[in-house]
């Protein structure tokens, strides 16, 4: 692996949106909202269920039903940094490398335990916009697509008590929970108060939240200060 302060390859930088994940048992999920925003080193990963119940009328956790709270607890998201092995360039112009993500102890984590602690085997097509990720164990395969224009501006900063990542037209805002959760511990209602919000820039230049671990944030404006 490269050292902790090295940049990841240019083609890995930007915001990637997952099309699907397929597990070793053949199960495939193509409905969840999954974004991976990668700067030169820092990363944010957000995974929100695509079949959550309606949260209409809810403005905070105290107003959620048990069913709604259970749905929120299925989210998965993290921040930290990424390292990679040396890149291999293939005869057809594609690239491959092994990526490792450092999140626990290095950033915010929605879940107290990592479901997939393995590195990822990355294969990127010659255009640098289509990527397949495989687990070395064979546990899963994921297909990723680069969000158009997301390499044009890469920014990572602290802003108003949040950690903000920007990759062109995509921004991710992160506010960690006030109290840490011990590994393996269940998520309490208070522990669900952990925000990972994905905002997309509109034609008016404004970033509006489209996906969030806190659904009442969706539709609100995100100040990215860039």
> What CA–CA distances, in Å, run from 68 to 38, 213, 218?
30, 12, 15
Average pLDDT over residues 111-128: 91
Sheet of strand 154-159, all strands in order from the earlier edge strand to the far edge: 154-159, 162-167, 170-175, 195-201, 207-212, 221-222
Which residues constitute the domain of residue 205? 10-222
pLDDT (tens digit per residue) in 35-94: 999 999 999 999 999 999 999 999 999 999 999 999 999 999 999 999 999 999 999 999
| 139-143, 153-157, 206-210, 212-216: least confident range | 153-157
In a domain, 5, yes or no: no
pLDDT > 70 in the chain, percent? 96
In a domain, 208, yes or no: yes
Question: What pTM does this model have?
Answer: 0.93
In a domain, 29, yes or no: yes
At 193, the pLDDT band (50, 70, 90 cuts) reads very high
In a domain, 140, yes or no: yes
In a domain, 1, yes or no: no
Residues with Cβ within 8 Å of 201's Cβ and at least 6 positions away in sequence, in order, are: 168, 169, 170, 171, 207
The two three-digit tokens of residue 66, written as one number: 């048990």
pLDDT above 70 for 133:
yes
pLDDT above 90 for 165:
yes
Number of H helices, E strands in the chain: 1, 16
In a domain, 173, yes or no: yes
Q: What is the pLDDT of residue 190?
A: 84
* Eight-state DSSP code of residue 111: S
Average pLDDT over residues 161-168: 95
pLDDT > 90 in the chain, percent? 83
| 8-12, 34-38, 153-157, 180-184: least confident range | 180-184
Provide the domain count of the chain. Answer: 1
At 221, the pLDDT band (50, 70, 90 cuts) reads very high
In a domain, 3, yes or no: no
Q: What is the pLDDT of residue 4?
A: 53
Q: What is the pLDDT of residue 3?
A: 45
At 1, the pLDDT band (50, 70, 90 cuts) reads very low
Q: 67 by DSSP, 3-state: which?
A: helix
């Amino acid at each position: 692996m490269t050292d902790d302060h090295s940049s990841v390859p240019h083609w890995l930088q930007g915001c990637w949106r997952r099309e699907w994940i397929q597990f070793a048992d053949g199960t495939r999920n193509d409905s969840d909202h999954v974004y991976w925003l990668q700067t030169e080193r820092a990363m944010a990963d957000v995974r929100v269920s695509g079949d959550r119940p309606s949260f209409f009328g809810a403005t905070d956790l105290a107003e959620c039903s048990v069913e709604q709270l259970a749905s929120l607890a299925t989210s998965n998201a993290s921040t930290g940094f990424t390292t990679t092995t040396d890149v291999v360039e293939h005869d057809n112009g594609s690239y491959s490398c092994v990526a490792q993500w450092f999140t626990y102890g290095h950033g915010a984590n929605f879940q107290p335990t990592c479901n997939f602690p393995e590195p990822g085997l990355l294969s990127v097509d010659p255009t640098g916009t289509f990527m397949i990720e495989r687990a070395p164990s064979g546990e899963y395969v994921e297909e990723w697509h680069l969000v158009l224009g997301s390499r044009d501006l890469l920014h990572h900063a602290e802003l108003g008590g949040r950690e903000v990542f920007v990759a062109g037209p995509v921004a991710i805002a992160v506010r960690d929970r006030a109290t840490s959760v011990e590994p393996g511990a269940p998520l309490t209602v208070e522990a669900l108060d952990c925000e990972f919000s994905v905002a997309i820039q509109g034609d008016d230049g404004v970033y509006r939240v489209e996906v969030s671990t806190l659904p009442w944030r969706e539709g609100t404006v995100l100040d990215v200060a860039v």
